[in-house]
Copies of this chain bind each other. A is one copy, B any other.
Amino acid sequence: MNTLAIDIGGTKLSLALFEKERIAARLTRPTDRAGGPEWMLGHIEQAVHDWKFEGCGVGFGGPVDFARQRIALSTHVAGWSGFPLVERLKATLGVKVVIDNDANAGALGEARYGAGRGKLPLFYLTLSTGIGGGIVLAGGSVYRGADSWAGEVGHIALDPDGPVCLCGARGCFERLCSGLWLERDYGKPASELLQDPAFVVRYVVHLAQGLKAAIMLLNPASIVIGGGIAQAGERLFSPLRAELRRQVTSWSQARLDLVPAELGNDSVLWGALALAGTTSGVG
């Protein structure tokens, strides 16, 4: 069976055609923020025109109501709140479509095909324009909580007196550590900032504080970090592991198995492949 996988992020749109579990074709392009959902739908329709597939999975860069298969909110990707994406894609593509937020999709991708294989429960952190989290339980299913809002680690408060986040609260993990805010606060993209070891040493303090909350609550067998910022590699991971070991004292015997996403930029696409094979609230 062939599957269309779609990753709708804050800065880019990625499409992949899977033949079973192999990427047979792919397209990536920057998001046209001004164009909004109509631009994106048109682009998808045109791009996949000669691709053959029987199902479609979508990872979306914002909260998704999984039971209702609806976009719940769009903070980073403007103009999507209330947009009937699943219905429109079904009508356009003529196949079953399953959507989830990109952090849940990334978590599922890494759990099934990447760094989390055989290491469940897994906590996946996407460190990108925004910050999201996804939890995959020991049985291999995504933990979504009562209202599909589980995993929203980006909005735990690291500093209640800190600067105001897009969500309206102060000192959120996302406000202090995400790519969007790093660039606004320091005037340079995260990729440049992370070239500076002195910056990294300060940055990982908040990053470890946020991860520690997930570790204390979830005691995952693996912690997988994806998203653009994770691509900094050992320049980031080595100081981050050291800081985590400092903050998570020997009192806790929870393991600290912190690794970069094995599927790199493609965790969400692989997760979308897995999603396409699941039973969702509205099919």
Contact = CB atoms under 8 A, between A and B. Distances in A.
A280 interface: no
Given A121-B146, A146-B121, A209-B160, A252 B167 contact: yes
A96 interface: no
A101 B152 CA distance: 27
A153 B216 contact: yes
A155 interface: yes
A77 B147 CA distance: 38
Interface stretch (A3-11, A27-35, A217-225): A217-225
B146 A253 contact: no
B255 A147 contact: yes
A47 interface: no
A212 B253 CA distance: 24
Given A209-B157, A247-B169, A145 B220 contact: yes
A72 interface: yes
Contacts of A156: 212-213, 216-217
A212 B158 CA distance: 11
Interface string A209-242: 1001110111111000000000000000000000
A73 interface: yes
Instruction: Report copies per complex.
Output: 2
A78 interface: no
A271 interface: no
A13 interface: no
Interface in A146-165: 146-157, 160
Contact of A149 (B151, B249, B252): B252
A122 B4 CA distance: 36
Contacts of A63: 253
A219 B223 CA distance: 20
Contacts of A251: 73, 75, 155, 166-169
Given A121-B145, A121-B146, A155 B250 contact: no
Interface of A: 63, 72-73, 75, 121, 133, 135, 137, 143-157, 160, 166-169, 205, 209, 212-214, 216-221, 247-255
30 contacts: A63-B253, A72-B253, A73-B251, A73-B253, A143-B218, A145-B218, A145-B221, A145-B254, A146-B219, A147-B219, A147-B254, A148-B219, A149-B216, A149-B252, A149-B253, A149-B254, A150-B217, A150-B219, A153-B217, A155-B251, A155-B252, A156-B213, A156-B216, A156-B217, A167-B251, A167-B252, A169-B247, A169-B251, A213-B213, A217-B218
